[in-house]
């Protein structure tokens, strides 16, 4: 897709936090190429306000903002797209609401068959994982690294997620992960910008322009 950035760090927020905007700004400054707003609470007014604010931050860096599981919120703030976890029907609904240029991603866990079905249904990217034990998703099934190689023929970007850190992420990049998704290893870090840069640097030797933030 023309609006999809090059490979790199996919930053995912981790719910309500007082320092959300400051931390996201640091993650973007460190080199994050995609941002997903993930807040599963029911505070609709706060979520709307935060999503609007994140959209402004992302626009300033040329980074697409995706919303976790809420195409209505994505539509309300003009986000670049959504990340979904359910069915092909949900993809169709999000596409109808957000348009042909929206980025729609889907969680595919450890299943190549699901990934094929979701791509056929119109997903723009798929995510696999958890690849390592994850504090955010402690009960997630573990996916084998080989899945990234096996999924190369899907023809869409592949996101690796689950317990990924700057220290263990290189093997996933080498296996073909277009993006490394990070939640706690990024937003739980003492220095968010430095953590973001360490993730971005895993792609530096492969992309040649780790600090280019344009899509």
2 within a domain of the structure (yes/no): no
What is the per-residue pLDDT for 213?
36
210 within a domain of the structure (yes/no): no
Spacing of C-alpha 170 from chain mean position = 17
Q: 65-74, 125-134, 198-207: which range is least confident on average?
A: 198-207
Tens of pLDDT along 14-27?
989 999 999 999 99
In contact, 24 and 60? CB cutoff 8 Å? no
Local confidence band at 206 (pLDDT 50, 70, 90 cut-offs): low
61 within a domain of the structure (yes/no): yes
List the CATH number of the domain containing 56: 3.20.20.70
For residue 207, pLDDT over 80 is answered with no
Domain count, the chain: 1
Average pLDDT over residues 139-168: 95
| C-alpha to C-alpha distance for 157 and 176, rounded to whole angstroms | 9
Local confidence band at 136 (pLDDT 50, 70, 90 cut-offs): confident
171 within a domain of the structure (yes/no): yes
What is the per-residue pLDDT for 89?
85
| C-alpha to C-alpha distance for 97 and 59, rounded to whole angstroms | 21
Local confidence band at 140 (pLDDT 50, 70, 90 cut-offs): confident
What is the per-residue pLDDT for 208?
44
The DSSP 8-state label assigned to residue 162 in this structure reads: S
* DSSP per position, 84-149: E-S-HHHHHHHHHHH-TT-EEEEE-TT-HHHHHHHHHTT-SEEEE--SS--SSSTTPPPPPTHHHH
Average pLDDT over residues 180-186: 97
What is the per-residue pLDDT for 138?
80
| C-alpha to C-alpha distance for 8 and 168, rounded to whole angstroms | 15
214 within a domain of the structure (yes/no): no
Percent of residues, the chain, with pLDDT higher than 90: 85
What is the per-residue pLDDT for 2?
66
Cis bond before residue 56 (omega within 30° of 0): no
Local confidence band at 6 (pLDDT 50, 70, 90 cut-offs): confident
For residue 49, pLDDT over 50 is answered with yes
47 within a domain of the structure (yes/no): yes
Domain that holds residue 162: 8-205
3 within a domain of the structure (yes/no): no
Local confidence band at 4 (pLDDT 50, 70, 90 cut-offs): confident
Rg (CA), the chain: 16
- What is this structure's pTM? 0.93
Mean pLDDT of the chain: 93
| C-alpha to C-alpha distance for 97 and 153, rounded to whole angstroms | 29
């Amino acid at each position: 897709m023309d609006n999809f950035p090059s490979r790199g760090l996919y930053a995912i927020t981790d719910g309500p936090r007082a320092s959300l905007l400051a931390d996201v700004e640091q993650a973007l400054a460190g080199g994050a190429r995609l941002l997903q707003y993930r807040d599963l609470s029911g505070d609709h007014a706060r979520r709307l306000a935060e999503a609007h604010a994140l959209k402004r931050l992302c626009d300033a860096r040329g980074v697409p903002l995706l919303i976790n599981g809420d195409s209505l919120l994505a539509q309300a703030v003009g986000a670049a797209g959504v990340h979904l976890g359910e069915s092909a029907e949900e993809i169709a609904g999000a596409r109808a609401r957000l348009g042909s240029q929206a980025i729609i991603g889907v969680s595919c866990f450890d299943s190549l068959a699901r990934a094929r079905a979701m791509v056929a249904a119109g997903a723009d990217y798929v995510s696999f994982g958890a690849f390592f034990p994850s504090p955010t998703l402690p009960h997630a099934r573990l996916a084998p690294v080989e899945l990234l190689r096996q999924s190369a023929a899907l023809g869409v970007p592949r996101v690796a997620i689950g317990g990924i850190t700057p220290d263990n992420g290189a093997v996933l990049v080498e296996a073909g992960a277009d993006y490394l998704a990070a939640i706690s290893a990024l937003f739980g870090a003492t220095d968010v910008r430095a953590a973001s840069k360490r993730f971005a640097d895993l792609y530096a030797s492969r992309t040649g322009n780790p600090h280019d933030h344009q899509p």
